[in-house]
Amino acid sequence: MIRQTDIHTRSAHTTYTQDSTTPIQPTSPGLPAPLMLLFAVACGLSVANIYYIHPMLNIIAADLHMDAALSGSMITVTQLCYALGLLLLVPLGDMLPRRLLITGQMLLSVICLLCTAMASGTLTFWIGIGMIGGLAVVAQTIVAAAASLSSPAQRGRTVGVVTSGIVIGILLARVIAGLLTDWSGWRSVYVCSAIMMLVVAILIYYYFPAKERSAATSSAQLSYGKLVLSTLQLFRDLPILRNRAILAMLIFAAFSTLWTTLVFPLSAAPFIWSHSAIGMLDIAGLAGALAASRAGRWADRGWMHRTSGIALALLVLSWLFMWQLYDHVWWLIAGIVILDLAVQAVHVTSQSMILAARPEAGSRLTGGYMIFYSIGSATGSLTSTWVYAAYGWNGVCWLGFGYSLAALLYWSWTRIYSGTV
């Protein structure tokens, strides 16, 4: 049995100055494994909705008569709406019953998915995909709910398992989207997703704990406006949140740089891969899902700093492999494995650290942190399609390498001068 230990947390000005291995004992049974698995599936399906488009980017752009250089705007719209949802919807998890909030947002997602599947033009598609992006933040409400239902000693593992569902959802989204696009067109992807979301929403409604641990009374009494404003105040009060949010922005800019543009070189000569084949590449990234679960356990043991440093160094290294795409595709696959592993290890570690800082504000902490994730993803999507149109795959690799190196340098600088990340 793996011994779980405590992440040292302090007051509002939480700092992490060294790795710790001080053991603690669980104070409550924590989250049951079947419910943890259901939460992971729900998170995966919700986040998958904003990643189905990646392997279909070129065929949707052609169907909607959109210029290829601007096709990344579809992903950018999704991510910007996701950021708005993080700011405006996720804080509600500290104010309203999470069972109703989660199932309600999932049911709205079902409606938006069906509307997107029936879109007949660029504007209607943008509106539909934007609504899907905004409602996909329900995954972060689920992460916060899972963390609050867990014992302190189990929190890192729980976040890791639930986040693994998100990672698997992201990866399988592109696999499924590629297969369904080749078999029955891109619209079928959103119809199938709507059906799966409906089933899981019903299961969550019936199996979510009747008596959930809610936010602190002071948070529950806040008005909606003050609740949203308090998210900004958390950035003022918590250095760990500010620093980890900036890291999220940089690593997900690198992540999005790869996955937004990968369809273009692989669907052209000399590869000329089908959408199914391109989507299957995501299976190589399942190492990221394994890293997500394991990184949560490392966070429980107090190894968050060494995990972050090693992962960020691997993120930089991954682009050196992917640079060799035209020499052999195996270089690309190796790079994908390393990149996904590195990004998810940092991501899970970051979430474990910030949720430990203020457990009673879990939804707002998660929402505030993920806003920067969304900004990074949107920036990576938009800049990578511009760069690919002008400089090809080499330009994309330079761009991703730059984002990754910036993340490593920022982490190193903050560790040396403030000791908070």
- Tell me: the pLDDT tens digits for 150-206? 777 777 778 888 888 887 888 788 888 888 988 999 999 999 999 999 999 999 999
Answer yes or no: is pLDDT of 302 > 80.
Answer: no
Q: List the end-to-end C-alpha distance of the chain, in Å, as a whole number.
A: 29
Tens digit of each residue's pLDDT (9 = 90 or more) over 384-397:
989 999 999 999 99
> CA 348 to CA 358: how far, in whole Å?
16
Angle, alpha carbons 291-295-296 (nearest 5°): 125
| Stronger pLDDT, 196 or 351, i.e. the higher one | 196
The Cα-based distances of 298 to 27, 139, 153, 288, 365 in angstroms read 20, 23, 12, 15, 21
- pLDDT of 79 reads 80
Whole-number pLDDT of residue 288: 63
Contact 31, 208 (CB under 8 A): no
- pLDDT reading at 28 higher than 60: no
pLDDT at 13 over 80: no
Please give, one letter per residue, the 3-state secondary structure of the chain. CCCCECCCCCCCCCCCCCCCCCECCCCCCCCCHHHHHHHHHHHHHHHHCCCCCHHHHHHHHHHCCCCHHHCHHHHHHHHHHHHHHHHHCHHHHHCCCHHHHHHHHHHHHHHHHHHHHCCCCHHHHHHHHHHHHHHCCHHHHHHHHHHHCCCHHHHHHHHHHHHHHHHHHHHHHHHHHHHHHHHHCCHHHHHHHHHHHHHHHHHHHHHCCCCCCCCCHHHHCCCHHHHHHHHHHHHHHCHHHHHHHHHHHHHHHHHHHHHHHCHHHHCCCCCCCCHHHHHHHHHHHHHHHHHHHHHHHHHHHCCHHHHHHHHHHHHHHHHHHHCCCCCCHHHHHHHHHHHHHHHHHHHHHHHHHHHHHCHHHHHHHHHHHHHHHHHHHHHHHHHHHHHHHHHHHHHHHHHHHHHHHHHHHHHHHHHHHCCCC
pTM recorded for the entire structure: 0.75
Rounded to whole angstroms, the Cα distance separating 150 from 416 reads 33
Most confident of 21-35, 95-109, 214-228, 282-296: 95-109
Q: Mean pLDDT check: name the lowest of 10-14, 238-242, 269-273.
A: 10-14
User: Other CB atoms closer than 10 Å to residue 141's CB: what's the count?
Assistant: 29
Q: Cα–Cα distance between 368 and 87 in angstroms, integer?
A: 7
